[in-house]
A and B are shown apart, each in its own frame.
Chain A
Amino acid sequence: DAKTTQPPSMDCAEGRAANLPCNHSTISGNEYVYWYRQIHSQGPQYIIHGLKNNETNEMASLIITEDRKSSTLILPHATLRDTAVYYCIVTEKGGADGLTFGKGTHLIIQP
């Protein structure tokens, strides 16, 4: 799996959009970008994934650059419950492989 780089921490004001960047410059053509988050003392939660097009679901939006070497997860209206560690993971789809977690970004939503 390609390696990813994320900032260790970020702050965001409640109600504002939270933009979390991820660099994955060594991504290969058949690898997808997945985002998960882990709220303290809970199991990780799937957020969204994409290949090359921008994606949106009820939780977030995913913007992938045209060269696919980086992406941004957007939480449009952050709430205090969005405080968590966010992981950007690049992996093949359906490979039945376990995930390799980096250190992620600790997003803190400020009231």
Chain B
Amino acid sequence: GAVVSQHPSWVICKSGTSVKIECRSLDFQATTMFWYRQFPKQSLMLMATSNEGSKATYEQGVEKDKFLINHASLTLSTLTVTSAHPEDSSFYICSVERPSGGHEQYFGPGTRLTVT
């Protein structure tokens, strides 16, 4: 069954508005979650690491003031795309690392954002 859920699965918004995407870990508590972005015909790119109870860590080139991450509990991380523009249209995917055993990552189903 699903280990990670995301909501919404798709969203269309107007340029200049903000969009919040939720990522929930269903099977285990996660002090760390990851956010990725995937443009058409490209591979996933890590955007940021979400840390429960502390600030997120952003990859080089990712604007922290534009992509706000909140990890308020051990099972929920949110990504808010602020003042969205058409170039932010992408497939946003979160993941959770199993805290023991193989430490493999489980990915959410993704959220497709289209900014018009």
Interface residue from B45, B104, B109 paired with A43 (Cβ < 8 Å): B109
Interface residue from A38, A93, A94, A98 paired with B46 (Cβ < 8 Å): A98
Given the complex of chains A and B, what is the CA–CA distance between A62 and B32 in angstroms?
28
Cβ contacts under 8 Å, B32 to chain A: 96
Question: Shortest CB–CB separation between residue A77 and chain B, in angstroms?
Answer: 23
Interface residue from B4, B104, B108 paired with A34 (Cβ < 8 Å): B104
Task: Say what secondary structure dominates the interface of chain A.
Answer: loop
Cβ contacts under 8 Å, A45 to chain B: 107
Cβ contacts under 8 Å, A87 to chain B: 43
Q: A: which residues have CB within 8 A of B?
A: 34, 36, 38, 41-46, 49, 87, 93-104
Cβ contacts under 8 Å, B108 to chain A: 43
Given the complex of chains A and B, what is the CA–CA distance between A45 and B50 in angstroms?
20
The A-contacting residues of B in range 89-116, CB under 8 angstroms, are 91, 93, 95, 97, 102-110, 112
- Across the interface, do B43 and A104 meet the contact criterion of CB distance under 8 Å? yes
Cβ contacts under 8 Å, B95 to chain A: 43-44, 98-99
Given the complex of chains A and B, what is the CA–CA distance between A98 and B37 in angstroms?
12
- Across the interface, do B44 and A44 meet the contact criterion of CB distance under 8 Å? yes
- Across the interface, do B110 and A43 meet the contact criterion of CB distance under 8 Å? yes
Cβ contacts under 8 Å, B6 to chain A: 43
- Across the interface, do A93 and B103 meet the contact criterion of CB distance under 8 Å? yes
- Across the interface, do B44 and A46 meet the contact criterion of CB distance under 8 Å? no
Given the complex of chains A and B, what is the CA–CA distance between A95 and B110 in angstroms?
23
Show 8 residue pairs from A and B whose CB-CB distance is below 8 angstroms, ordered by the A residue: A34-B104, A36-B105, A42-B109, A43-B6, A43-B95, A43-B107, A49-B102, A49-B104
Cβ contacts under 8 Å, B105 to chain A: 36, 44, 46, 99
Closest to A38 in B: B44
